[in-house]
Structure 1
C-alpha cells in the first residue's frame, strides 16, 4: 500500500475507486476488532455505494490509501453491511471515548485514531490522538493534546458504549443532509435520538427532511415541545406540514402554537389542502418579485446560499403583496432567460407566456404530467382569484411518486435504485458505476 499511517477521521467521505479508476463509493467508517494483548486490528471499511447502501470492504481488498482516495481490487460483496459481534466502528463508536493513562496521570478523550500497515499487510491502531481535560475556566481554552499508544491507556467506559454525540457530529460536519440522515439511521434508535438532539436546529431540520416519515416522527417525539417547534420553524413549510400531519392532532396543534406565527401560518395553510393535490405538494416560499424588478435583482435573489436549486430555477412575478398569497399572478421568468438579457432589463418583459399556472386543487398526477411534458423544474399554483399561493417543484413531485419507504434501508433493490435516481436528480451528480458482485466469503 502507498500509505503507512492514516488518521481515520480524515478518511470519512473519501472516494473509493476500483483499479480502472471508476468510483465505487465513499468511506463512512473503519472497522476494528479488539485483541487480547495487541492493539485493535483493522478488518475493513464501511463503504456507501450507489443507492445509499452500506457494504463491507475487507482491508485485504484495499490496495492503496492516500491523497484523499482509496483504491480497491474492485471485487466487493454488495450485501448490506450488518455489524457483527466484536466489531467496533471507529468513527461512530471509538472517537470521543474517555481513556485513562496507565501511568496514573489522568484521563483524556480520543479525538482521532491512527491506523498503520504492518509488515504482513495487516493494519492495526498505531496511535491515539487524545485531549486532556482543560485546566482553565475560560471558554476559549482547550485541554492539551498528545499522542498515546494503545498500551499507554485503558478505556474508562464499557466496550461497545458509543462516544459523545458532540464528537460524532464534529466528525460528520461536512456531510450533506441526506448522507448525515443515512448515517443516523444506521445508529441504534436511542443513539440516533441522542445525536439528533445535539444537532443545531437548522442542521436537524435539513436532516429530518431526508428521513422516512416514521423516523421523522420518532425524532420529533424525542424532543421537548419547545425544541421540536424550533426545528419545525427551520424546515421548509411543505416538509413541516407533511411531518405535522403524521402526528396526533393534539400534539400537532401544540407544536403549531409554539412555532413562530408566520411559519405556523404557512404550515396551517398547507395542511388545509389534500396531500394528493398541488396545494398539498407545493411550497409557499418561492422567489416573488414585482414586474419592475430587474434582471440584476432577480439574479441576486437566486444567489442566496440557502435557496433550494429547484426554487432558484425560476422567479415568480406578481402584483403586490409579494408574499403568498400574493396579488394577481403575472407569470414566471426562467433563470436561463435572465442570463440572456442585460442587468437593467425589467423582469415583467421576460415572462414565459406559454406557461399556465395550476390551481391548488389540481391533482398531483396532473401536476406530474405538466412537469414532464414541458420539461419544467417547477410550476406555479394559484387560487380562485389568480393569486400565487406557491409552487410545486420537481422534488415535491418525486416525493409523491416514490413509494413511502423509498428512504428505508429495508426496501427492495428497485426502491433503492429509484431513491438513488432521485438523489442524482436533486444534486446533479453523475450515477456511479455499479460494483462487481462476488459470492459472500470470509470477511
Structure 2
C-alpha cells in the first residue's frame, strides 16, 4: 500500500528541487491547482519550479515527486521538461492566486465562524493511494479581533470550505500582497519571467500595486509587446511616471514602436529633464549606435578627484557595464557634453590615491563609436577591443552617450529572445 504524504503549500515554497541524481534543478515557487466544481476536491497538478540556471519557471508534475523533506523535493528518474509554465483554463497558482482569497466555512466544529468571512492562508495537499495529490485541509484566518492585528487561524477539512471552488481568482486583492512579498529580493528579470506565467488580469493587479521604480525595473526586462500590453492597463499619468523611472534608452525603444501621436502624448506628460534625453535618442535609427546608446553614462570633468569618481561608480543604480569606466569631458557634463577628453577605467581608479585628479590617469586613446555606426560595426568594435562600454562621440568631439555591451546584445538578438529557451540547460 502506498504511503500517503501530506504537506502544506507554504512549506513547499523555497525548497530545493533535486533530480534523480541529486543535482539541484531549482526551487519551488508555487503549486499549480486544478480548481474543480463544488463537492470535488481540488487537485495539485504540479510544482512551479524556478530553474537555477535561467530563473525561468517550469511545470513539474506532482507525479514526478518521490519525496519531500525539510530541505528539498526529490524527483523520480526521467527527463525534466524545461518549457515555460503556462496555466490552462480552470488552473490556478496556490500562492499567487488562491491564498488570501475570501471564503466561508460550515465546519460543525466552529459554529461561531459560519457567518464570518474568512481568508485562505494555506492549503494542505496529500498524496492518495492512487498517487494523485489533492487538497485535504485548508487553513483559514478570521478578521481582526479587538486589539489584535490579525485574527486566529483555523484548519478545516476541504469539504467544509464554502466558496473555494468558485473563487474569482482575478478579484482585486486576492493574493496580491503575498505575491508581492514573494517577489521581494528577486531580480527584475526573474520577476518579469514570473509575470509571464500569470493571467493578464493578475499581471495588471500586481503592476498597479508596485511602486513606480520597481515596476520600471521589471518592465525594462520584458519584451516590447509585453511592455505595451502591461502599460496599456495603466492610466497615462501612471505610465508617464513609470517611464520617468526607466532608463532613457529603454524608453526610446518602447516609444519607438508606438504610434507617433501616442508617443508624443506620453513624452509631453513626462518631466522635461526626463523626456529630453529620450527625444534625442529618438532622432537616431534604433539599429545605430545613437539609437542603442544610453545618454547617461558616468561623466565627470578633468578636475574631478579619484574619490569623487569612485563614488559615482559605486552608485547602486549604475549597471555593471557602465561602471567599468568614467567618461571625462570639458563642461558641460550633461550630454551632449563639451569636448570629449577620454576615459578613466575603474581598475585604474582603484590603484590611485583618492585625492589625485582623474586627469592624471586619463586614457585619451580609447576607441570610440559614431552615432551612425551600424549594429554590425558595433559588434566588430566590441569584439576587436574587448570592451564592456564604448563612448559615442559626434564629429565635433561632443560625447553623446555610451553603448554598453548588454544593450548591444538586446539590439542584435531576436525581438522575442526573452521568451525563448536558452540552450545548454539540464534536461
CA distance in 1, matches of 2:5, 2:305: 58
Q: Name the counterpart of 1:148.
A: 155
Matched, 1:97 2:89: no
Q: Name the counterpart of 1:422.
A: none
Q: Which has the larger radius of gyration?
A: 2
For residues 20-43 of structure 1, give each alpha carbon's deviation from its aligned partner in whole angstroms, at most 9, with x where no partner exists.
443323333212345776864433
CA distance in 2, matches of 1:308, 1:127: 47
Using the size of structure 2 for normalisation, the TM-score is 0.85
CA distance in 2, matches of 1:177, 1:333: 30
2:49 is matched with which residue: 47, 50, 71?
47
Is the 2:98–2:175 contact (alpha carbons within 8 Å) kept by the matching residues of 1? Answer: no
Alignment of 1:276-295 (within 5 A): 276-295=287-306
Secondary structure class of the residue paired with 1:55: strand
Is the 1:100–1:106 contact (alpha carbons within 8 Å) kept by the matching residues of 2? Answer: yes
1:416 is matched with which residue: 397, 412, 421?
421
Matched, 1:133 2:156: no
CA 1:157/1:118 → structure 2, altered by over 3 Å: closer, same or farther? closer
Per the TM alignment, residue 5 of structure 1 is displaced from its structure 2 partner at its CA by 6.2
Per the TM alignment, residue 310 of structure 1 is displaced from its structure 2 partner at its CA by 1.6
Is the 1:291–1:348 contact (alpha carbons within 8 Å) kept by the matching residues of 2? Answer: yes
Q: Name the counterpart of 1:58.
A: 61
Consecutive unaligned residues in structure 1, runs of 5 or more: 409-414, 419-430, 436-443
Alignment of 1:1-400 (within 5 A): 6-9=7-10, 11-33=12-34, 40-49=42-51, 50=53, 54-66=57-69, 69-73=72-76, 75-78=78-81, 80=83, 81-84=85-88, 87-102=91-106, 103=111, 104-115=114-125, 123-125=133-135, 127-134=137-144, 142-149=149-156, 150-155=158-163, 158-159=166-167, 161-162=169-170, 163-400=174-411
CA 1:31/1:354 → structure 2, altered by over 3 Å: closer, same or farther? same
Per the TM alignment, residue 131 of structure 1 is displaced from its structure 2 partner at its CA by 3.7
Is the 2:289–2:373 contact (alpha carbons within 8 Å) kept by the matching residues of 1? Answer: yes
Per the TM alignment, residue 17 of structure 1 is displaced from its structure 2 partner at its CA by 2.7
Using the size of structure 1 for normalisation, the TM-score is 0.82
Is the 1:56–1:77 contact (alpha carbons within 8 Å) kept by the matching residues of 2? Answer: no
Root-mean-square deviation (CA), in Å? 3.0
Consecutive unaligned residues in structure 2, runs of 5 or more: none
